[in-house]
Amino acid sequence: MRFLTGANVKRLLTLVLGAALLVPAAVRAQPPADDPAALKLAEPDFTLIALPTSLRLPKYRSAFRVTHRFLRPLGSGDFGDLVSDFFGLDNGAQTSLELRFGIVPNGQVGIHRTGGNKTIEFFGQYAAVRQSAGRPVDVSALVTIEGTNNFKDSYSPAIGAIVSRTVGDVAAFYVEPIWVNNTNALPTQLADDNNTFLVGIGARVRVSPTVYLVGEAAPRTGYKPGVTHGSFALEKRVGGHVFQLNFSNGFGTTMAQIARGGPVENDWYLGFNISRKFY
């Protein structure tokens, strides 16, 4: 797993993004369906791995997601140790639950609760621009606020945009500039930086009718402890479910956690996401 550094993940994503430019024009020209309830083959889920996508949620419909990030570093010990620990499944996990709901056309809100410092995140997302013949990208606005200790301490709001482009039914690419406030747990008087500006980049590529490869990273500036978030995954769509097996260099699933990055360079962790659309 040593080659899977944050820098290498970013290089892989850059290669995938470049490959999108080589997709035949006939494939790129396919207009996306405008019905938010219609299955979008290139963008089947509301998240990549931890970062959000532009997928719209129909009004008065909902979706649910559960995530696990197992705490055992995959590189700890030899392969026999890893098998003995059943690839980390024996070692506990940071879990999260998420529910989102469409409140207006193109607009959704949600709540995400993770065991990491008992963090609760509320979020809202509005699809302001949709990809069409005259518009090359989707643009969604994103607002989140999270607090640790069950939303009693250390509040971190975030504001950003999700810019995405789907390439036919084959792939979707994302650039997500996001500013996260109060990522540093120390008071401003004791810190050089209290905020993080990150640019989430990611891609999802459909490699068979229901199987996808997914990757994402979040290069950042400002307060940036730890190692820059990076993650890749293999996922399978089954009806309204998406089952994802992922590998990440950290445990973050909220914006402030992503901004703070992973704990240690070159440590990677197994995890999974399961999501379900209720429409």
Partner 1 sequence: MAIRLLRVLALLCACAAWSACDEKLSSIAGPTPSLEPTFASIQHDIFESTDSAGRAACTNCHTNVGRNPSAGLNLAHDLAYDQIVNMASSRKPGAVRIVPGDADNSYLVQKLEGKSGIVGNRMPNNGPPYLTDGQIMILRRWVAIGAPRN
Complex with partner 1: residue 4 or 57, whichever CB lies closer: 57
125 binds partner 1 (CB under 8 A): no
- Rounded to a whole number of angstroms, the minimum distance from the CB of residue 84 to partner 1 is 38
Contact of 166 with 127, CB cutoff 8 Å = no
**Local structure of 16: helix, strand or coil:** helix
User: Using CA atoms, how far apart are residues 139 and 146, in angstroms rounded to an integer?
Assistant: 23
> Given candidates 18, 29, 189, 239, which one binds partner 1 under the rule CB under 8 A?
189
> Given candidates 37, 129, 170, 274, which one binds partner 1 under the rule CB under 8 A?
129
- Rounded to a whole number of angstroms, the minimum distance from the CB of residue 270 to partner 1 is 33
Tell me, rounded to whole angstroms, the distance of Cα 1 from its chain centroid.
Answer: 21
Tell me the CA distances in angstroms from 118 to 95, 114, 147, 184, 276, one per residue in order: 10, 6, 8, 17, 23
Strand partners, 18: none
> Given candidates 95, 101, 103, 157, which one binds partner 1 under the rule CB under 8 A?
157
Contact of 226 with 251, CB cutoff 8 Å = no
> Given candidates 39, 186, 211, 264, which one binds partner 1 under the rule CB under 8 A?
186
30 binds partner 1 (CB under 8 A): no
Interface stretch with partner 1, choices 66-74, 152-160, 202-210, 219-227 (CB under 8 A): 152-160
- Rounded to a whole number of angstroms, the minimum distance from the CB of residue 199 to partner 1 is 17
Strand partners, 132: 135
Interface stretch with partner 1, choices 22-30, 125-133, 162-170, 245-253 (CB under 8 A): 125-133
> Given candidates 25, 29, 190, 238, which one binds partner 1 under the rule CB under 8 A?
190
CB atoms < 10 A from the CB of 171, how many?
24
- Rounded to a whole number of angstroms, the minimum distance from the CB of residue 136 to partner 1 is 15
194 binds partner 1 (CB under 8 A): yes
Complex with partner 1: residue 20 or 143, whichever CB lies closer: 143
User: Using CA atoms, how far apart are residues 145 and 93, in angstroms rounded to an integer?
Assistant: 23
- Rounded to a whole number of angstroms, the minimum distance from the CB of residue 221 to partner 1 is 17
Complex with partner 1: residue 157 or 219, whichever CB lies closer: 157
**Local structure of 133: helix, strand or coil:** coil
- Tokens encoding 122: 């509320």
Contacts of 233 (CB under 8 A, 6+ apart): 48, 49, 213, 214, 215, 244, 245, 246, 247, 273
- Rounded to a whole number of angstroms, the minimum distance from the CB of residue 72 to partner 1 is 30
Strand partners, 197: 179, 221
Phi, psi (deg, nearest 5) at residue 254? -105, 170
Residues lying near partner 1 in the complex (CB under 8 A): 126, 128-129, 141, 143, 145, 154-157, 159, 179, 181-182, 185-190, 194
